[in-house]
Structure 1
């Protein structure tokens, strides 16, 4: 009887030691840009098998709990995701391929919308002051005080807002953002609302500066709590 208990105890201790060793296993490595070999910070590494996550540090280094035959996924804004099957626990070196594209190619190209041309008659009715070269300033009380004149000026303000939003959409749209940031569904919607720039801000940014703006915004967005990475529901009772 004692022999059976002793063997069972030895088996239990061995089993626990083996499993504790297995669970304590980890793999380390570095992640860099494929083209220039620059080490990448803030790369997210996910172990598909045990759901462990980590980020690379300033030197592109990482450590994560893993075992042989586990699958790791590497995700970074501006790069194509990378997947690797672990065949041993030797240090890994991964190189991510840039997904940045020429934003000129993905900006919305359509017929230019100019409300002054589309609604020239309405704009004329709302123009109470007339300034022309080599002519004195003229003022039309009827256009300024009449209901039709007031409605025309209100319509002009609305059209100006619409024109501004269309100009922003030419550069800041789902196609452009998804080409830079790995966002989908509700996270993409929340990002588009939270980080939508003004037209003046866009006009101050060239293409490279705009890419940096999106990358910085993405880093800030991923650091937010999960509840803040989605838009509030418009339906009562829904989270």
Structure 2
């Protein structure tokens, strides 16, 4: 009996150790942003634990790590990029070719990493500015071509698309399944409906404290149950 208990305890310890080890991994896929083609032999480095791996022939990779880690990706012919891992599941990371022109639309923007999104917002804001530096006369001057030109108009439209994506990501990272299920009990199909119907606004999330979010979710759930 003692031997049986000893074997059982060892088995449980090994199982617990295996489950813990499995949970400490980040799985992902690497794609080309424009073509959606999977990319092999991409070097992926975890900045937190300094571990590194290369993507497989199908673009997949597994690297030691966890949520809230930062991954740096290097691939020949592509710009270096940094990806923030903010949720469980398989991370889909899209890389941009060197010196390529990016088409700014909702689909393309949704695939960008946070660092790339910030870079594109800064670039679009710079292209939309009517004030430029005069190299010959010194100082600043108003450029009508930059104010009313096609490039400036495209840049201003791009800013709206890019900043909307940035705002949506902020809401996603606050209004999470984990937070909701820590306060209320909902099956998966009901959870999806609840999140869609009662998704908070960016303006609310931007200034909300933890207790504000808790009150918001509980109030929304009370309304949800009445339907």
- Structure 1 or 2, whichever has the larger Rg, is 1
TM-score, normalised to structure 1, is: 0.41
